[in-house]
Copies of this chain bind each other. A is one copy, B any other.
Amino acid sequence: MINGMMMHCNLNITSIMQHALALYSEQKIVTLKSDGVTTHEYTYEDAFDRVAQFANSLDRLQVSKGAKVGTIAWNTYQHFELHYAIPCSERIYHTINPKLPHEQLIQIITSAQDEVIVVEQDCLHIIESLHEHLKPFVKYFIVLGEIDETLESSLDFIFYEELIAKESITYDWPDIAEQSASGLCYTSGTTGAPKGVLYSHRSTVLHALTLSMANVVGLDENSCIMPIVPLYHISAWGIPFNAVLCGSKIVWPNSFAGNIEKIYNLIQTQAVDVSMAVPTIWTALKNYLQENNITEITLKRAISGGSSASYSLIESLSYHGIALENAWGMTETSSMGACNRINNLNGLSKSQVLKCGRPIFGMQMRLKGKNNELLPHNGVSEGLLEIRGHSVAESYNSNSSDQPTDKTTGNMKVWFDTGDIATIDVRGYMNITDRAKDMIKTGGEWVSSVEIENAMLGHEKVAEAAVIAANHPKWGERPLLILVAKPKAYIKHIEIETYLANRLHKWSIPSATILISEMPYTGTGKISKKSLREKYYDYFMENQ
């Protein structure tokens, strides 16, 4: 084939920044300050002046091109600035979840080899405790928030505000090749070591552009979006790029995602009309509205991800004029890979509303049967969900041996195995019906059932252990432990809690234990999780 004769312009994050500056320089960005009461407000233009300043700072500090810059930070304007300053100056931002266990933080930061770590003041103690592990490669610790002369630390650090204050607000932005790495985020979902997904400028821009479509997120200049989901969860599902591309007002709730009163007040005072969070937050909002007899709210769309929102929650929020929409995605899909756009509930069946949704443009989905055959998209056939797309990981960052793709197809097309069992219907609605990998999503965090089972199998009284995700009114799902005890043994739940306390993160400890006499098995001799789920999925709903 001959080539077209059109310009090649790089799909890089810089082009989003420059487009927004040309059209939307006066648009607002509002952040709830760390006092939880007052707000910081500025314009896109102010933000990108500071982005240039931090890019100049990184050059002045001689941070290598291609270096990873770790961020341990909340949803604030400063963290937002890092999402541009780092990649647009040819470094790679690496968002780190401060709530992970220390062991995982060490694994992740060591794998990334962050040359710089930018950290909130209230997370500084985390880094202090990890310092022995980090000092071989971390050259600078930069502290966010306002300058506080009284702040003491065992680390040699620099204040972000002090650093950028001296710098020029212009920067000669390079035209970065689109395949260049821009960001890094580790998925801690499995029993193996955390695996890093290394986003490119191209994958990020195409993802942001696709989210802009009217039937996906569809923001514009009149929208006001508040990402409640943290920036360390895949850059708050890509909103720092998508919202700026669309010229929307952005509201950052800082570390107050869990404080529903502050969230509600931000929505009302800033006229937020779109927001994104896990179902746990939406349940809290629903309860808050009900308890306070609030009927009017500026919020019109609540996009829910991480796990599926229940129909009763969707119905309740619909009463308040809020369309709660399920979306599906993974760290490996740059966040949203499918969405279930709802204009209103009328005429939609309950089962359709509960589905994960339809793939966004550029996301291909297929179902594989037990013999690797492709299954029809008829809404009934269940198979392993495999995906392919512009914003899907091809492989994991180095130091991660577990590679995601099936490179054995021979047709040069790699597909990513999601580990989920799903159906797809003729209108493209995908629904996850089972988990091949036995993961549990609780309050937006992944818990590995296999990890808990392995820990339990070391207990002297345990013959067999199975952990399933069970429906939970607050956390979406919680791990439920099902045991067969050794002959003549008897175990209480309190013993389990004590036993696991030093072995697992607290959110991984099952919320209840059920003793049974015999496990159900599948035809191939494995414990049938499906049977256990059918029997015990609503255990927490029925036994509160």
Contacts and interface: CB of A to CB of B under 8 A. Distances in A.
Interface of A: 1-9, 11, 15-16, 18-19, 22-26, 65-66, 90, 92, 175-177, 179-182, 197-203, 206, 209-210, 212-215, 218-222, 245-247, 334, 343, 358-359, 361-362, 364-365, 377, 388-397, 413-414, 416, 426-428
A22 B359 contact: yes
Contact of A214 (B2, B201, B218): B218
Contacts of A362: 9, 15, 19
Given A2-B181, A4-B200, A15-B362, 16 more contacts: A3-B179, A4-B180, A4-B182, A4-B198, A6-B198, A6-B334, A6-B390, A19-B359, A19-B362, A23-B358, A25-B427, A175-B413, A213-B245, A214-B218, A214-B220, A215-B247
Contact of A203 (B4, B179, B219, B334): B4
A5 B209 contact: no
Q: How many copies does the complex hold?
A: 2
A427 B23 contact: yes
Contacts of A212: 212-214
Nearest to A212: B213
Nearest to A68: B2
A36 to B, nearest CB: 33
B180 A5 contact: no
Given A2-B180, A198-B6, A364 B18 contact: yes
A28 to B, nearest CB: 14
Contacts of A4: 179-182, 198-203
A507 to B, nearest CB: 29
A283 to B, nearest CB: 29
A388 B10 CA distance: 11
Contacts of A6: 198-200, 202-203, 334, 390-394
Contact of A215 (B206, B221, B392, B426): B221
B218 A25 contact: no
A428 B301 CA distance: 29
B5 A396 contact: yes
B209 A219 contact: no
A384 to B, nearest CB: 18
A215 B246 contact: yes
A389 B9 contact: yes
A16 B364 CA distance: 11
A180 B1 CA distance: 6
A469 to B, nearest CB: 29
Q: Of residues A15, A22, A65, which shows the largest number of chain B Cβ atoms within 10 Å of its Cβ?
A: A22
A176 B19 CA distance: 29
A390 B65 contact: no
Contacts of A396: 5
Nearest to A176: B1
A214 B6 CA distance: 25
Given A200-B6, A395-B5, A22 B182 contact: no
Nearest to A6: B203
A429 to B, nearest CB: 9
A202 to B, nearest CB: 7
25 contacts: A2-B198, A3-B181, A5-B197, A5-B396, A6-B199, A6-B203, A6-B393, A7-B390, A7-B414, A7-B416, A8-B390, A9-B362, A9-B364, A11-B206, A15-B362, A22-B359, A23-B428, A24-B427, A24-B428, A26-B427, A209-B210, A213-B213, A214-B218, A215-B246, A215-B247
